[in-house]
Amino acid sequence: MIRRLFSLAVVLCGGQALAAPPIELALPQGAAISAERESPGTSLEFPLGPWRGGAITARHIEGYRTDTAWRLRANQTTSLQIMAPLREQLGVAGFGFLFECETEGCGGFDFRYAIDILPEPEMHVDLGDFRYLAARKGDMFVGLMVSRSSESGFVHLTTLQAQKVEPAELRNDLSSPTRATPVTPQTGTALPPLSGGDLAQQLESAGHIPLEDLMFESGQATLNGTDIASLKALATYLQANPQAQISLVGHTDSEGSLEGNIALSKRRAEAVRDKLVADYGAPSAQITAEGAGWLSPRASNLTPEGRDQNRRVEVVLTSTQSWR
């Protein structure tokens, strides 16, 4: 049975249409989409090699991104039997293969958590049985991950149409209407919006503050949420204080190796920095991004609630001289 795996007919770039021919691949009968994500004007460290020496060989690409995950009907198929027909069809469609690996050859746990894919349970990756394939056709890059559980097979597809990303219009209107307050994943308690004055007082008195309304899934660096009160307040603070220098420091729970989690935590901090600059007009020269992995927990990693609290990004004021 033929199912549409992805079809990117038109991508917009700076007001001009970039055409990409539709590509259709056959999945096993009964395959169902479990999750989808679309990210226009984004960036990705596209994996082009295994995890070695604390990092993945990758290429920084900017453009129009899509992510789709499928769950296959219960069967006894191996991960190779899932991957092989998809790989063949990509070849027939004119894609050149850049990199392919299997489980330990990819780098095992560290590789899995260093790449950005849709989270569990929509996309399940068995750390003892998965395969990854990177391919390219012109400006279109494709990352394909397959795995399986005892009950189902799983397919994850990332497509990235490389293109020039136009700068976002800077929005510094401080009188915009108040939006719904964010909810923390670990407690379900609504947080009050963080005003510029509150942030300035806390940051300058304590030297650092956690951005409580940011949410990250375990093993993921994708920033959830669109209108984030703390980032709006932080951007306003930086615009009003051009002498201020800050570092965004990402943190993780303790699942996985230290090297892998330091890389993941830095990607979380970089995602926050990108959003601060692109969506809220924060001056990029005042912001750096770093990762601490699981070296500085604020709660026990023995409970899911504690691990939720440890997955965070904090703002550290790095200026050493007062400008007041």
- Return mean pLDDT, the chain: 79
5-26 mean pLDDT: 44
**Predicted pLDDT at 219:** 75
Residue 208 clears pLDDT 90, i.e. is over it: no
93-114 mean pLDDT: 91
**Predicted pLDDT at 76:** 58
**Predicted pLDDT at 3:** 43
> Which of 165-169, 222-226, 299-303 is predicted least confidently?
165-169
At 123, the pLDDT band (50, 70, 90 cuts) reads very high
Task: Say which amino acid occupies 164.
Answer: K
**All residues at 6 or more sequence positions from 97 whose CB lies less than 8 Å from its CB, including other chains:** 87, 90, 91, 133, 134, 135
CA distances from 266 to 58, 85, 160, 224, 291 (A): 15, 36, 22, 16, 4
Its pTM surpasses 0.75 = no
The structural domains of the chain, with segments of one domain joined by +, span 3-162, 196-317
Residue 230 clears pLDDT 70, i.e. is over it: yes
Query: What pLDDT digit, counting tens, does each position of 50-86 carry?
Result: 998 888 888 888 889 999 999 998 665 789 999 999 9
Percentage of the chain modeled with pLDDT above 90 = 27
CA distances from 202 to 11, 270, 315 (A): 43, 22, 11
280-297 mean pLDDT: 90
Query: What pLDDT digit, counting tens, does each position of 19-54 carry?
Result: 333 466 788 888 899 998 888 888 888 998 999 888
At 303, the pLDDT band (50, 70, 90 cuts) reads confident
**Predicted pLDDT at 166:** 63
286-302 mean pLDDT: 89
Percentage of the chain modeled with pLDDT above 70 = 79
**Predicted pLDDT at 1:** 38
* Residue of higher predicted confidence among 102 and 194: 102
Query: Which of these CATH numbers, 3.40.1000, 2.60.40, 3.40.1350, 3.40.50, describes 3-162?
Result: 3.40.1000
Residue 145 clears pLDDT 90, i.e. is over it: yes
**Predicted pLDDT at 26:** 80
Query: What pLDDT digit, counting tens, does each position of 233-272 carry?
Result: 899 989 988 898 999 999 988 888 888 889 998 998 998 9
* Residue of higher predicted confidence among 56 and 215: 56
Highest mean pLDDT among 141-145, 217-221, 228-232, 276-280: 141-145
- CATH class of domain segment(s) 196-317: alpha beta
